[in-house]
Amino acid sequence: MELAKIEQLLEAYFEGTTTLVEEASLRDYFSGSEVAPQFVMYQPLFVGLKQAKGEVSHKEIRLPSPAFNLNSWWYGIAAMLVVGVAIGSVLFSQPQLSQEEKEAVAAFEKSKETLRLLSESLNKGTEELAYLNEFTKGTSSIAHINQFTDTKNKILK
């Protein structure tokens, strides 16, 4: 292989941009006996990688089996019960009013009823004022008659 090509492949290898085919050609070159003197320092690296690739471990690996942990289930159930009781107590509890608050609510309801009655009375009063508008229309007609009378009196005098 050309030295320039080997040098380019080494640079690409150390930058991490080589393909698997290029790495295989580098391993083949460095596992051979004809290695250029400037590249001899890389030979143990590639030879060691080739040997490491061939190593196989015969040790049996045991993964821990997922055990059914009963305690975690009990903790989850207990937490759900606590949350349920808390939510239930908030939703279903009726607020207890003190005597002073009950009196205040009663006074509020009484004043609300009084204001409603006052409003009804005022509404009836404004309806009766509509009749007053009719009276005003009638008096304006009388004003026209008075004007006619004044004019007639001027002519007849």
pLDDT digits (tens, 9 = 90+) for 63-118: 877 666 667 778 888 999 999 999 888 877 767 778 888 899 899 999 999 999 99
Of the candidates 55, 27, 20, 54, the one whose C-alpha atom is nearest the C-alpha of residue 43 is 27
Q: Is residue 45 part of a domain?
A: yes
Residues in the chain, total: 157
Write down the pTM of the prediction: 0.36
Q: Is residue 89 part of a domain?
A: no
Nearest-angstrom CA–CA distance, 126 and 137: 17
Nearest-angstrom CA–CA distance, 62 and 91: 51
What is the domain count for the chain?
Answer: 2
Which residues make Cβ contacts (< 8 Å) with residue 117, sequence separation at least 6? Answer: none
Q: Is residue 85 part of a domain?
A: no
Q: Domain of residue 20: give its range.
A: 3-54
Q: Is residue 67 part of a domain?
A: no
With beta carbons less than 8 A apart as the criterion, state whether 67 and 44 touch: no
